[in-house]
Amino acid sequence: MNTAFSFPTIDGESVSLDVKSGDVIFVVGGNGTGKSTLLNKIYLEHGDKESVYILAHRKNSFDNDIIDFSNSDFKSAIDSVYNDSRNARSRYRVSYDHYRTALPIVKLKNKTIGLAVNTLKSLKNGDCINSETLITEVDLLNSIFKESHLSIEFYIDSESNVMASNNSYDPPKNYPISMLSDGEKSALIISCEVLCAKNGSAIFLDEPERHLHKRIVSSLIASLMDKRKDCSFIVSTHELTLPSFFRTSRIICVKKCSYENNDPKWDCSIINGLDKIENLIDESVVVDILGSRNDVLFVEGTSTSLDVDLYSVLFPTVSIVSKQKCDLVELAVKGLRHNDFAHRVNAFGIIDNDNKVSAQILNLNKNFVFSLSVHSIESIYYHPLMIHFVLELTKDVNAIENIDKTYSEIRSLIVETLAKQKDNLCSRAVEKIIRAEIMSVIPTQKEIRGGIDFKKEISISSILEKEHELFDKLIMENDCEGLISRYPVRETNLLTPIAKMCGFIDRDRYEFNVIRTIKTNPSAKAFVLSLLGGLENVLS
């Protein structure tokens, strides 16, 4: 859907939004504020037969173990559901419940069997088959359930029935999908509707959290949207952590709805981008956000920084919230930890090391804020070991003929580049060390009341001399790991050249593949977790 829609507001104005393929818009608010009414209005005015309209008051059970339609009944069922949904009363009452639950399953089956038939024809014709074209909607469905921490896999049996396999048993138990739990059936129906939508469709999703646990719904919807980036999504929800999974989403925060001559009008605000949520969203909605997830991890940077992508893939069941600066991370964690009676959140923080002294780090840990064991987030993305992991993953795509040779050349580049910036890098390190030492000895209130004099003598030349000696030692030993871990490499001109030597056109492509590597390589993930200063232990 590429269109613009508008709706009237209580103050006599109107709100207009442009929607194109790939966009995600959330409609959030309390019960009775008119979220479903607004979603229904947009669907009736801008939806078409290719659109997907998934209702909040949906049935999620199947009448039979065998779910199927003849060709004529299938087309008739689609027409009946579409025509019924186009009625204004569809917001609160619909017909053809049995069609609405069965159709997504039959669509899944038809698309999968259709692919199998076409593949067989191609093989008979002697055509070459690309392995990526053999990925079916059932395969995508299984990956989504796995990413959502649901222990169910699906398959089509020899009689063309969609069946479930429960992997929480040993061996797995197989049974008809009609025997799934309410939550599993709800997740299945929503997933099938989205996965089987035609390219570029508009998907209207009303309260996807129905029957689903809070720790599942965010991962499920995020995975679905990731698989269908060609579609646009408008989602009405009470689950207010959902927007945090989408850095470019827009939010319609609805406070109330009133009617004038049977025409609804809304009191709402529009929030563009996650960085503005705290300042613009209604306080009651903020309370809902704080109570919607068990674990929240505050990180440095903005919603588009390296931190958010990294920690989101490391801790998929945790809400990641960016706070721009390290002191804001500390304040957020401390504020929540000291007011735990007002919410249901376990707050944690992770910040850059920036050459902090041990006393500082220990004090932070006591307040559930953890420091990286390397200088900064770039020290993880561009750590030599991570570079090697990325080279292993992308060697074929980027035509890297000899990984060891390329890796050796990158290490040489790191040493040569940093050696030329000795004064700047050492001065930056010493600056952080001095600041940390001063902060670590600031007198307490008790000492101030006692009138104790505060004295701290620092020999800058001595500290700088030691730093120079350490730097020279790292350079002489070609210790790339030590250099990257200790110094602020983001302040050098090193990162783009490294990305290009790995075969990427820019830093963004390289950093995207770091995330891919962590997702697919357990060793890479374990390595990154080991650099988080103990955070992984408290979160696990």
Average pLDDT, the chain: 86
Q: Where are the alpha helices (DSSP H) in 68-181?
A: 71-85, 97-124, 137-147
Task: At 136, list the tokens.
Answer: 């079916």
Identify the domain containing residue 154 by its residue range.
96-196
Are 100 and 229 contained in the same domain? no
- Its pTM stands at 0.58
> pLDDT at residue 458 above 90?
no
CA distance 180 to 516: 32
Model confidence at 273, in pLDDT bands (50, 70, 90)? low
pLDDT at residue 291 tops 50: no
For 180, counting Cβ atoms within 10 Å of its Cβ (0-12 exposed, 13-18 middle, 19+ buried), the class is buried
Is the pLDDT assigned to residue 69 strictly greater than 70? Answer: yes
C-alpha span between 329 and 351 (Å, rounded): 8
Instruction: Render pLDDT for 135-194 as a digit per residue (tens, 0 to 9).
Output: 899 999 999 999 888 999 999 998 889 999 999 999 999 999 999 999 999 999 999 999
- Would you place residue 343 in the very low, low, confident or very high pLDDT band (cuts 50, 70, 90)? low
Q: 3-state class of 30 per DSSP?
A: coil
Same domain, 205 and 179: no
* Whether residue 313 sits in one domain with residue 181: no
Does one domain contain both 110 and 35? no
Pairwise pLDDT comparison (129 vs 397), residue with the higher score = 397
* Any domain includes 80: no
pLDDT number for residue 302: 76
| Whether residue 229 is found in the same domain as residue 286 | yes
- Total tally of structural domains belonging to the chain: 3
Mean pLDDT, rounded, for 16-45: 88
Do both 322 and 431 map to the same domain?
yes
Answer for the pair 369, 362: CB distance below 8 angstroms, yes or no: no
Provide mean pLDDT across the span 245-267.
Answer: 85
**Residue 5: predicted pLDDT:** 86
- Per DSSP, the residues of 424-465 read HHHHHHHHHHHHHHHHHTPPPHHHHHTT--------HHHHHH
Band of pLDDT at residue 496, cut at 50, 70 and 90: very high
- Rounded to an integer, the average pLDDT of 206-229 is 86
The answer to the question of residue 239 being in a domain is yes
Same domain, 235 and 343: no
